[in-house]
Amino acid sequence: MTRPPLDGLVPTALDQRIEAAVGYGVEELRRHRDGGLLDAPHAALADAHRDLAAAERDVTFYRVRLARLASSEFPVDQALFARIDRTLDQLAKAAAVRDAKQTVAAAALEPIETAAPQQAPPQLATKDVAALLAIAQGAKLHEHLVTRRLAVATPTRTRISYAQLQRLEAMGLVERDRAHPVQAGQPVALTDIGRAALTAPRRSGPPGTRPAPVPPGFPVGSRSRR
C-alpha cells in the first residue's frame, strides 16, 4: 500500500477558514506561493498549510491501512494483531504530528483573519440553493462499497454530486465531519457562511443569471444536524 502522490490536494480542518480570510481556495494559495506572488504573511500561511496537508495525508494513509487490516481480507491470527498494533501506533504518531502542524498553521492564519475585511455572503446559483437547503435538513456523504463512488444522501432526495459538494466546501458553505469514515457516511452540515448565504437577500446577478428563489415555507433558518 503506497501513500497518495505528494502533489495531491488533501483537505484539512483549516481550508474553509483560509479561503474566507484570503478570498480564494488553498489550491490557488499554493499556486501563488509557487509563483512567488505572496507577501510574507501569506507565504508563511501557504508553507504552513502545505506542511499540514502532508501531515493530514499521513493520518489518512494509516487510517486506511487500519481499516484494511480490520476487514475480512486477512486471517485473524497473532500476526494480524501485531500489524494492527503497529499501525495504531503509527496512526497515533501521525495524528500528533498533524495536530502540531495544525497549531502552527492556525497561528499563521490568525493575523490574516484579523486583517481581512468582512466579506458579504456569496450569491448562489439555483442548484446550489437547492443543495444547501437539502443539506440543512441532514445529509451524509457515502462511498459505495463495490464501486467506490461517492454520493451525498439527503432526506429530500435532492441530487448532490460529489463535485458539487467539493465546490460548496471550497466556497466555505458546507463542511464534513471527517471523524466518520465515508463507508459509514460522513455527516455534511452548513457552515455559518452557508447559513448566511441562504438567509441573505437575493440580489440580481451578472447578466444572463437569475437569483435563486427560496421555496416558500421551507425552513431556511433551521440548524443542520451535527
- Residue 130 vs residue 211, higher pLDDT: 130
The model carries a pTM of 0.51
Give 210's pLDDT tier (boundaries 50, 70, 90): very low
Residues 76 and 167 in one domain: no
pLDDT of residue 40: 87
Residues 143 and 222 in one domain: yes
Q: Report the greatest alpha carbon distance in the chain.
A: 67
Span 21-42, pLDDT tens digits:
888 889 989 988 888 888 889 9
pLDDT mean across residues, the chain: 81
Nearest CA among 20, 17, 44, 15 for reference residue 32: 44
Domain boundary among 115, 131, 164: 115
User: What percent of the chain stands above pLDDT 90?
Assistant: 35
Total domains, the chain: 2
Span 93-135, pLDDT tens digits:
999 999 999 999 999 999 988 886 555 556 788 888 889 888 9
* Residue 72 domain-assigned (yes or no): yes
Residues 134 and 226 in one domain: yes
DSSP-H helix ranges across 13-160: 15-22, 26-34, 40-69, 78-115, 126-136
Sequence-distant (≥ 6) Cβ neighbours of residue 207 within 8 angstroms: none
pLDDT of residue 149: 83
